[in-house]
Amino acid sequence: MRLGPAAETAVRQGHPWVYADRIKEQNRIGSAGELAVIYDRRDQFLALGLYDPDSPIGLRILHVGKPVTVTPDWWRDRLRTARERRRGLFDEQTTGYRWIHGENDGWPGLVLDRYEQTVVLKLYSTVWLSRLPELVPMLFAEFHPDRLILRLSRNIQEAAAKADLGDGFEAIAHPSGAGNVRFVPATSDPIVIFKESGLRFEAEVVQGQKTGFYLDQRENRRLVETHAAGRDVLNAFSFSGGFSVYSARGGARSVTDLDISSHALGSAGRNVALNQNSVQIVGCPHESVQADCFEWLAAGPRREFDLIILDPPSMARREHERAGAIQAYGKLAASGIGRLRPGGILLSASCSAHVTDAEFFGAVRDAARKSGRRHSELRITRHAADHPATFPEAWYLKAIYLQF
């Protein structure tokens, strides 16, 4: 393949995506996941990528620089590099975390999360479908899980069905030999209990959001624990209550989960129940409120809190949603601030890839200024070490802590 000049430069500088309309020349039509060799304008080897005819990103770069021979060992090394990168990050008190974070680990469109002895392989691109027979035995050999659950993003489910693969299928290890993987709809327990910072949580690995848990917010949950003592905590967009369980252990006076989904709140209740070995958690009143956060915060019952967490789902999945999302973050922060007692802390988070750090922090800081209340900025946070971000589009997660 040959690329347009701007795309060629971007690839040379390490960007992992080439949009289909930037592919200037290809010697033949390829199939999804085939290796593509890219030559530069001087006809020198530039890079290797996976051809992705099913996506606007027509090419996902694997390697740039000197020519390499792609062998099973080459792939295995890549798995080991990802694993090495996490060495020492977690002890046995944390058994849920990300092993492979997509292009940031050299595995474009592929995520591998560990929950205890289960790994969840989530694919966001069809490029991996034809490679599963080679890849899955390697994952078993390198990460030693008891089972592997396959999750598929919605946009690739139709293509996967043609290969008899479905979202929530599982592969069982074949001790007898590699290369012999079969995927079937999961029949084992759809829920895994794992540990995070010594706390126990359930992850719905077969059907839940993401791969079953929001592993990417772990560092914020840990920080919230350190701020929670003596506070009434509101966990807005609580999902399965992670922030509340940490807050309770941190000595919160009470925790309230607020989510639109009864399913999420059910899981939050079970997560509190899973941690009854902690005296702080046993002693901390826990309440669940099922409501739309935007409405409840703006016009719900007159209740105030000392720590409010706002962690909504992505509000800008596409570029044209950006302006609306920035506004919504501002409104949300304003209504959260309106419910904070003096000395109260607001944690406002965004996982919208199309809203930049500056735009998001700007919206929250504006809301704080417009509240007319004196406040200080405690800190901002970004990606955790097991969720590295190595190119601009990968920086989706950001959070800001303000105290009033």
Interface residues with ligand SAH (CB under 6 A)? 214, 217, 237, 239-240, 242-243, 259-261, 264, 292-294, 311-313
- Pick the closest to residue 220 from 347, 38, 51, 339 (CA basis): 347
For ligand SAH, give the closer residue by CB, 7 or 248.
248
Contacts of 55 (CB under 8 A, 6+ apart): 20, 125, 126, 155
Tell the smallest beta-carbon distance from residue 292 to ligand SAH (Å).
4
Q: Which two tokens stand for residue 150?
A: 């396959």
Tell the smallest beta-carbon distance from residue 139 to ligand SAH (Å).
25
Q: Which two tokens stand for residue 311?
A: 């962690």
CA distance 211 to 218: 14
CA distance 181 to 333: 48
Please check whether residue 209 is in contact with residue 192, taking contact to mean a CB–CB distance below 8 angstroms: no
| 162 bridge partner residues | none
Start-to-end CA distance of the chain, whole Å, equals: 56
Tell the smallest beta-carbon distance from residue 240 to ligand SAH (Å).
6
Tell the smallest beta-carbon distance from residue 247 to ligand SAH (Å).
11
For ligand SAH, give the closer residue by CB, 119 or 332.
332
For ligand SAH, give the closer residue by CB, 128 or 243.
243
Tell the smallest beta-carbon distance from residue 209 to ligand SAH (Å).
6
For ligand SAH, give the closer residue by CB, 20 or 193.
193
| 381 bridge partner residues | 399
For ligand SAH, give the closer residue by CB, 55 or 217.
217
Tell the smallest beta-carbon distance from residue 236 to ligand SAH (Å).
7
Q: Which two tokens stand for residue 252?
A: 């919160």
For ligand SAH, give the closer residue by CB, 112 or 293.
293
- Pick the closest to residue 211 from 332, 145, 124, 317 (CA basis): 124
